[in-house]
């Protein structure tokens, strides 16, 4: 059995206005149409929705109980239509942002909140990866937009735009690590201890070249959070984003004081030129690139 949307709408309006004819006026239909729609609904549901003994109809107990359900149907149908017209207006059906853990800021968070406000019908997905993995997700089409530390050479199909903010990196080790005992350290001394660095699934990548290199066989992990855990466990030293250490290991890692550290790494937004950005992607790219 099908419940016609006309009946549901007539019922909802009549219930909230307490009058069939008022509902008819509000809906721009004739009174008889509303009356018939409601009585058809009553027949379909097998229930009396209104007590019509008085001058104006009053919701019955069943009507009260069902009104909420009817409104759920109508609002779901409304959402469907809003989403459809957003899509028909050119909005992309989904925006996938791939992020590096290198960076996080209030500016970034507020941009995402603005995105949610501006494009309420957008399906938004956020995934995490580092370095070359970000690029490969973008060029494969799995992700629409990426945010990562600037890399040297990229494929020409990858569009890129600089981001105003920078990510701060420092060298950290656990409090128990031998490097922490010494006061001032030379960069060369790092080479004597195990380095904890990023790896990537995409073979080509060798991470950022500006990281200090260790002579000892280094350990690697696919993201900064695991790297941070390894450092906390004392397995070696690592170059980590400051915000991440402050947020998750403020008291469990010590920053090493080295010449030229901490460093500030420029960031950029990337996308694929093969798949043109939709309005939300365009907006987010520009918003991330703009000054705070």
The residues that touch a second copy, with contacts defined as CB under 8 A, are 1-6, 45-47, 61-62, 64-66, 69-70, 72-73, 76-77, 79-81, 83-85, 87-88, 92-94, 123
Of 26-34, 73-81, 97-105, 258-266, the window that binds DNA (rule: CB under 7 A) is 26-34
187 lies in the site for DNA, by CB under 7 A: no
Is residue 59 close enough to count as binding DNA by CB under 7 A? no
Parallel, antiparallel, or unpaired for β 94-99 and 145-149?
Answer: parallel
Question: Over 147-181, what HEC string results?
Answer: EEECCCCCCCCEEEEEEEEEEEEEEEECCCCHHHH
Asked if residues 51 and 13 have their Cβ atoms less than 8 Å apart, the reply is no
For position 159 contacting DNA by CB under 7 A, the verdict is: no
Query: Considering only residues 8, 13, 14, 131, which one is a binding residue for DNA as defined by CB under 7 A?
Result: 14
- Residue 7 interacts, among DNA, a second copy, none and using kind-specific CB cut-offs from 5 to 8 Å, with DNA
Q: Please, which residue, 64 or 206, has the CB nearer to a second copy?
A: 64
Report the residue number, 4 or 206, with the smaller CB distance to DNA.
4
Candidates 45-53, 209-217, 246-254, 281-289 — which segment interacts with DNA by CB under 7 A?
45-53
Q: Write a three-state SS string for 89-131.
A: CCCCCEEEEEECCCCCCHHHHHHHHHHHHHCCCCEEEEEECCH
Minimum CB distance to a second copy, residue 223 (Å): 29
Instruction: Report the residue number, 15 or 163, with the smaller CB distance to a second copy.
Output: 15
Judge if the upstream peptide bond of residue 262 is cis by omega within 30 degrees of 0.
yes
Residue 290 within binding range of DNA, rule CB under 7 A: no
3-state DSSP call for residue 195?
Answer: strand
Question: Judged by CB, which is closer to a second copy: 45, or 127?
Answer: 45
- Give the burial class of 81: count Cβ atoms within 10 A of its Cβ; 0-12 exposed, 13-18 middle, 19 or more buried: exposed
List alpha helices for the chain, DSSP H: 5-17, 20-27, 31-45, 61-88, 106-118, 131-140, 178-181, 187-190, 224-232, 242-248, 279-289
Q: What's the CA gap between 11 and 72, in Å, rounded?
A: 13
- Work out whether 15 is an interface residue with DNA (CB under 7 A): no
Partner interacting with residue 77 (select from a second copy, DNA, none; CB below 5-8 Å by kind): a second copy
Q: How far apart are CA 200 and CA 216, in angstroms?
A: 20
Q: How many residues bind DNA (CB under 7 A)?
A: 28
Instruction: For a second copy, give the closer residue by CB, 80 or 213.
Output: 80
Compare residues 17 and 73 and give the one whose CB is closer to a second copy: 73
> Quick one: which segment of 28-36, 174-182, 195-203, 230-238 binds DNA (CB under 7 A)?
28-36
139 binds, among a second copy, DNA, none (CB under 5 to 8 A by kind): none
Of all helices (H) and strands (E), which one includes residue 220? strand 219-221
- Beta partners for 221? 198
Which residues, numbered 125-154, are part of the site for DNA (CB under 7 A)?
Answer: none
Would you say 92 or 133 has its CB closer to a second copy?
92
Residues that bind DNA in the complex, under the rule CB under 7 A: 4, 6-7, 14, 19-22, 24, 28-33, 35-40, 50, 52-57
């Amino acid at each position: 059995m099908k419940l016609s949307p006309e009946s549901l709408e007539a019922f909802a309006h009549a219930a909230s206005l307490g009058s069939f004819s008022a509902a008819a006026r509000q809906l721009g239909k004739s009174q008889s149409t509303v009356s018939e729609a409601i009585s058809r609904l009553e027949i379909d549901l097998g229930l009396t929705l209104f007590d019509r003994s008085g001058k104006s109809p009053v919701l019955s107990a069943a009507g009260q109980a069902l009104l909420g359900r009817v409104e759920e149907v109508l609002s779901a149908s409304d959402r469907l239509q809003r989403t459809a017209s957003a899509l028909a207006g050119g909005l992309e059906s989904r925006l996938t942002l791939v992020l590096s853990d290198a960076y996080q800021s209030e500016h970034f968070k507020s941009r995402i909140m603005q995105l949610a406000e501006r494009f309420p019908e957008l399906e938004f997905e956020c995934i995490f990866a580092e370095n070359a993995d970000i690029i490969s997700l973008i060029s494969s089409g799995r992700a629409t937009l990426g945010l990562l530390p600037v890399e040297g050479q990229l494929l020409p199909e990858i569009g890129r735009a600089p981001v105003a903010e920078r990510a701060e990196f420092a060298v950290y080790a656990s409090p128990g690590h031998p490097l922490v005992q010494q006061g001032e350290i030379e960069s060369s001394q790092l080479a004597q201890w195990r380095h904890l660095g990023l790896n990537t699934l995409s073979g080509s990548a060798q991470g950022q070249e500006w990281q200090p290199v260790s002579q000892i066989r280094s350990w690697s992990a696919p993201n900064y959070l695991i790297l941070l855990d390894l450092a906390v466990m004392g397995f070696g030293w690592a170059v980590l984003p400051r915000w991440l250490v402050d947020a998750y290991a403020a008291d469990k890692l010590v920053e090493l004081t080295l010449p030229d550290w901490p460093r500030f790494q420029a960031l950029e937004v990337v996308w694929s030129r093969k798949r043109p950005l939709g309005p939300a992607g365009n907006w987010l790219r520009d918003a991330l690139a703009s000054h705070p």
